[in-house]
Amino acid sequence: MGSRIFLAMDSEKDLWSNFRESVMQRFEEWEQSLSRFRSTSELSEVNRHSGQWQQVSDTFWQVLTLALQVEQETQGIITPAVLDALEAAGYTINFEDLGNTADRWLRQPLPTLANVREIELDESNHAINLPHGLRLDFGGVAKGWAVHQTMLILREYAPVLVDGGGDIAVSGPMQDGSAWPIGITDPMNASANLGLVMISSGGVATSGRDYRRWQVNGHWQHHLIDPRTQKPADTDVLAATVIAASVMDAEKHSKQCLILGSSETQRLDSPKDIAFLLVLEDGRTIESNNFDQFRWKESCKATHDKITV
């Protein structure tokens, strides 16, 4: 998934050594199923056989149905059908290896529009049929799902926080009842924090175009595609941080906020159970009315302990 996974368990016992192997094995299995960067992955195999019925694994089925649900909930803003556009923008291989791929960029075809709602699903057999030419990329949906699954597995043993490259799932308050302190990295200065939020349970995610980006002819490209234009989103939001009931919800809303931009985000009838902080390109910040209640404040520490999204 191209991300570092960080786990914190609140326990006096050394639980991590018991779960290390199994957790790493699960991530390897998920990577082998869901990665578009592995030519042997299940996703790559499915993408190569569009137009045919194919049986898929439970993991693939769960992530696909989640991605389709997200696509409907966001009215197509977050869609798994932007792989062609991503590759046309130059994101063809792992981001860390992008530096020497100017020639690859020059050979990319123009993106093709494909309708993700034409995917046929056979739930009883976990079989799918992609419309001819459609290729999928689960992107952040897969990462949020994997982080959430890991949290669900480990929460049986101790309060746990799982961080997948900045998308964070929290199982519940720590053993002493207090919330988990989570910093918000300043997208304009990665070594600084914009503040500290206290999360008792749920998820926090940040989408941004401050890191995974590259230049073409002096113009910045980034990895968050606006499906309406099939190009990297032209937005005034540099980074969007969302607190929600689950890391999957937080990931979905943060990406939506970034793609839509600050004006549309503020016009949205956002669910009451999310809180957002937008950092704009000019350095200004905009936050939802309820974001402040998650910020760490010495004077109301007791309140933080009770907050649950």
Partner 1 sequence: MNQNSHQPKKRSFISTSLKFMLAAASIAGTVGLWGVFSKKDAQASAATISDSPLPTILTLVPFQTANSAAVPTSDTSISSLPVVTQAPVNNSTQIVQLNQPSPVTNTKSSRP
Torsion angle, CA of 49/52/56/62, rounded to 10 degrees? Answer: 100
In whole angstroms, the minimum distance from the beta carbon of 108 to partner 1 comes to 10
Q: Considering the complex, what minimum distance in angstroms separates the CB of residue 212 from partner 1?
A: 6
Residues 99/231, Cβ–Cβ less than 8 Å? no
Q: In which residue are the tokens 């190569």 written?
A: 48
Segment (H or E) for 275: strand 275-280
Q: 159, 174 in Cβ contact below 8 A?
A: yes
168 counts as binding partner 1 under rule CB under 8 A: yes
Contact assessment for residue 254 and residue 276, using Cβ atoms and an 8 Å cutoff? yes
Of residues 152 and 192, the one with the C-beta less far from partner 1: 192
Among 42, 137, 167, 249, binds partner 1 (CB under 8 A): 167
Question: What part of residues 190-229 is at the interface with partner 1 (CB under 8 A)?
Answer: 190-196, 204-217
Tell me whether residue 51 or residue 177 sits nearer to partner 1 (CB atom). 177
Please tell me whether residue 172 binds partner 1 under the rule CB under 8 A. Answer: no
Under rule CB under 8 A, residue 241 binds partner 1: yes
Using rule CB under 8 A, residue 238 touches partner 1? yes
Helices 139-154 + 247-267 axis angle, to 10? 140
- Binding status of residue 27 toward partner 1 by CB under 8 A: no
Q: Quick one: 36 or 143, whose CB is closer to partner 1? A: 143
- Cβ-in-10-Å burial (0-12, 13-18, 19+) of 278 comes to buried
Q: Does 180 engage in binding with partner 1 (CB under 8 A)?
A: yes
Q: How many residues belong to the site for partner 1 (CB under 8 A)? A: 59
For residue 33, the minimal CB distance to partner 1 (Å) is 19
Output the smallest distance, CB 246 to partner 1, in A: 14
Which DSSP helix (H) or strand (E) runs through 122?
strand 120-122
How far apart are CB 49 and partner 1 at their closest, in Å?
A: 29
Q: Report in angstroms how near the CB of residue 3 gets to partner 1 at its nearest.
A: 6
Please state whether beta strands 127-129 and 53-55 pair in parallel, antiparallel, or not at all (unpaired). antiparallel
Instruction: Say whether residue 265 binds partner 1 (CB under 8 A).
Output: no
**Residues 260, 228 contacting (CB under 8 angstroms):** no
CB of 94 to partner 1, least distance (A): 8
Q: Beta 167-170 vs 160-164: how paired, if at all?
A: antiparallel
For residue 182, report the phi and psi dihedrals to the nearest 5 degrees: -130, 125
Question: Is residue 186 a contact point for partner 1 (CB under 8 A)?
Answer: yes
Q: Which of 140, 128, 88 is nearest to 112 (CA)?
A: 88
**Residue 77-116 contact track with partner 1, rule CB under 8 A, x = bound:** -------------x----xx-xx-xx--xx----------
Whether the Cβ atoms of residue 208 and residue 256 lie closer than 8 Å to each other? no
Least distance CB 99 / partner 1 (angstroms): 5
Tokens in use for 88?
Answer: 């046309």
Q: Which residues pair with 181 in a beta bridge?
A: 198
Contact positions toward partner 1, by CB under 8 A? 2-4, 6, 8, 90, 95-96, 98-99, 101-102, 105-106, 140, 143, 161, 163, 165-168, 180-196, 204-217, 238-239, 241, 283, 296, 298
